[in-house]
Amino acid sequence: MAKPSKSNLRFIKDPQLDPYYIQLDDYCYIAQKSTFSDAGHEYQNTLGHYSTLGGCLECIARDDAKSKSYDSLRSFVERFEAKTRELKTLIK
């Protein structure tokens, strides 16, 4: 019989979040992003630690919106708000 793990780390790896995922422990939600080097090595970037799932999803939406250039502030805000709504529908 396998010995139970003592690790308190758990993950939410939903395909709709890709390339992001959420690491959780007993105290917080940790927004993570997987990136790959030119050589194909995978790296995990920690975006932040949050006390609520909603805050963690907002961080992911913000990082997603910041991943490209915009011609106007309005375009950026619209992308950020659309991504925030998209992610929050996942938890309703």
Cα–Cα distance list, 45 to 6, 23, 35, 88 (Å): 24, 12, 7, 22
Lowest-confidence segment of 4-8, 34-38, 43-47 by average pLDDT: 4-8
Contact between 61 and 72 (Cβ < 8 Å)? no
* 83 or 8, greater pLDDT: 83
- The domain spans of the chain are 10-89
In the chain, the percentage of residues whose pLDDT exceeds 70 is 92
Structure tokens at 65: 């919106």
Mean per-residue pLDDT, 21-27? 93
DSSP 92: -
The owner of tokens 């991504």 is 83
